[in-house]
Structure 1
């Protein structure tokens, strides 16, 4: 039996509230409510390309840990399309650009990065293949992303 992966203590994210110096306005609330976690344009592009390539998949099921964007249980494959801001692409250089509510946003995004690592460890421990694409990769290099998914099938002998 494999040893369980080490899980680091969770990054503490301060509560988003006026008492902590965060001010919510009607405009900010409206803007934030329009940010989607599912059904994003890059996700739809990848799903459409997979479907046209003959890959039949399932969208995220609550039974799957980490809520993958695309899952193929039969082949033990999960695919995530991560937003570059929310999941910390090039984080070490980008975090210095955050000017407002630094304490909250830096902790929030670092916790997201940590959660992604936990999800990866969870699936690797169980023998699944994990593919993670940045949103801009799917938009700019859809063919390469599709090829990565198809290569997983080739490796599995399908």
Structure 2
């Protein structure tokens, strides 16, 4: 599939894609806070700079976009339009795996919440309850 935008226009458009404080991330923050949990944002001293860190529980939480991080089985993770994007997505997934392994090695529980899981507030609350509150406290 050929890109309908010029290189310059595509570059400009891609530069506008946010990495922090996205709508899904803010929805997760609100749900975690509503569950009575306190957290830190974007801890740069941890591998991968997790979106939320719950230090008392030893949890590093990532809010991943389904398209960019290739959520398995999700309709938003459509096939890439070129080999360039296919390679970029492969590198994203490999980096995610590497970061998760590094954090686990440091003793952190790693949780990923996908963009599509943040749309329905009730579903998101159940996910927070199951994935976050379900973990035992760090010793």
**TM-score of the two chains, using structure 1 as the length reference:** 0.73
> Residue deviations 1:119-157, cap 9 Å, x none?
1111111221000011001223212221121112xx228
> Residue deviations 1:6-25, cap 9 Å, x none?
xxxxxxxxxxxxxxxxx512
Is 1:42 equivalent to 2:24 in the alignment?
A: yes
Tell me how far apart the structure 1 counterparts of residues 31 and 83 of structure 2 sit (CA, whole Å).
39
Q: Tell me how far 1:94 sits from its aligned partner.
A: 8.3
CA RMSD in angstroms, aligned pairs only: 2.5
> Residue deviations 1:36-94, cap 9 Å, x none?
11111111011011112221100012111101000022332100011011101237x98
What are the ranges of 5 or more consecutive residues in structure 2 without an aligned counterpart? 1-5
Aligned to 1:135: 115
What are the ranges of 5 or more consecutive residues in structure 1 without an aligned counterpart? 1-22
**TM-score of the two chains, using structure 2 as the length reference:** 0.82
Aligned to 1:144: 126
Aligned to 2:54: 72
The structure 1 residue matched to 2:79, chosen from 79, 97, 106, is: 97
